[in-house]
Structure 1
């Protein structure tokens, strides 16, 4: 097999960087984003109902009509729809899901890995990333901002109205990352796109007699989307 870069690793690295830049440039643009949290000042706040942000007023109005709620301005200037629902039926292609661990600093990723090996920068790709093997230790380092945390990007469409375009949900919760292998296993049994329910599960618990709570994002795999449509071809599918 021809390998013109065998004796010139610098040229190979430059070519790979160009390919990576081309891939970034051709990634899909998203018409909306699903959000399970927001910021109250500098403090992150988890939500019990879905928030949807979009740069398009007509898309925001459509989401409000479908799921109720209110429209306001997001910090980046987009429209933000704080809906009245904690469940959304979405269409997901498992092959498009991206999952990694990322540590950010000043808005830039300074550590990207798959849990055992670096994914970037290119010169470190494939090398051991040095993350702890024990999950509790990974979480602790991330909490201290000394280690990466999950970054799982799920491109999706809204099952009720696909004309609203392509959206995404970016999951950063450890609970979602822990569920991901089982979710991907369920998706692997489906040929093509899958109908899923993306929901926010409210969890209450106690620590030393003190009541605490959090919202856990969950992706439930229902069935093949083509099968869901075929169930009743004369009517809008009910999920």
Structure 2
């Protein structure tokens, strides 16, 4: 059994996010938001990337400190293809099927309040290039743009072919358009998605 919403790598010292809950509504961010359980890690993130001072936020998980950084792009170190996982998730009425790109299938409980349908899930664990000794961080994304970008650039294959760790750039890409249909027709829609660009392998 897997917990899709809250599970994170056990050895991760923090997570990178590109949205924030504002009065129960997720709002897309233009700069990275980092959450952690360690005040020392939070202080280090502030020193590395600037932004607002670490503060507490409401969460059921252990990463109860957040830093709204001033960085929209960071350099990271990815230690092999196993640190990047992509899968497709289908939420049904009574269960959630998780299809891995390797053909594996998992089954987990479903949150009935969420809509049904297919969506990608990308999970990346990495170290910060400017401070690799700080520990491992993670990112989880359900962005179709990220999933398509990784497939188009054959990112997993390139990571697998590297002899060691790979230097990469993780950047938030802004998108803005006028909605032509739906409940927000005529409104400007703004959001960001995370792009992973491999720089060089060691």
TM-score by length of 2: 0.77
Q: Tell me: CA distance 1:155–1:80, structure 2 relative to 1, closer, same or farther (3 Å).
A: same
Q: Tell me: CA distance 1:90–1:115, structure 2 relative to 1, closer, same or farther (3 Å).
A: closer
Q: 1:190 aligns with which of 162, 185, 190?
A: 162
Establish whether residue 101 from structure 1 lines up as the match of residue 88 from structure 2. yes
What whole-Å deviation, never above 9, does each CA across 1:88-127 have from its counterpart, x for those lacking one? 111112222221123468xx972211379661139xxxxx
Which has more helix, going by share of residues? 1
Q: Which whole-Å CA distance do the structure 2 matches of 1:116 and 1:53 have between them? A: 30
Aligned length: 179
Say whether the 8 Å CA contact 2:81–2:157 is kept in structure 1: no
Say whether the 8 Å CA contact 1:94–1:193 is kept in structure 2: no
Which runs of no fewer than 5 residues in structure 1 stay unpaired? Answer: 1-16, 21-26, 123-143, 227-239
Q: Which whole-Å CA distance do the structure 2 matches of 1:40 and 1:103 have between them? A: 27
Alignment match, 1:68: 50
SS in 1 for 2:58: coil
Which runs of structure 2 are paired with 1:3-82 in the superposition (5 Å)?
Answer: 28-70=10-52, 71-76=54-59, 78-82=64-68
SS in 1 for 2:71: coil
Q: Tell me: CA distance 1:38–1:216, structure 2 relative to 1, closer, same or farther (3 Å).
A: same
Which runs of no fewer than 5 residues in structure 2 stay unpaired? Answer: 3-8, 109-113, 181-185
Which has more strand, going by share of residues? 2
> Which structure: larger Rg?
1
Deviation at 1:201, TM superposition (A): 1.0
Alignment match, 1:218: 195
Alignment match, 1:165: 135
Q: Which whole-Å CA distance do the structure 2 matches of 1:214 and 1:114 have between them? A: 27
What whole-Å deviation, never above 9, does each CA across 1:143-185 have from its counterpart, x for those lacking one? x811132221111000100111011111111111111222224
Establish whether residue 200 from structure 1 lines up as the match of residue 168 from structure 2. no
Say whether the 8 Å CA contact 2:87–2:101 is kept in structure 1: yes
Establish whether residue 90 from structure 1 lines up as the match of residue 48 from structure 2. no
Q: Which whole-Å CA distance do the structure 1 matches of 2:48 and 2:98 have between them? A: 37
Q: Which whole-Å CA distance do the structure 1 matches of 2:101 and 2:133 have between them? A: 37
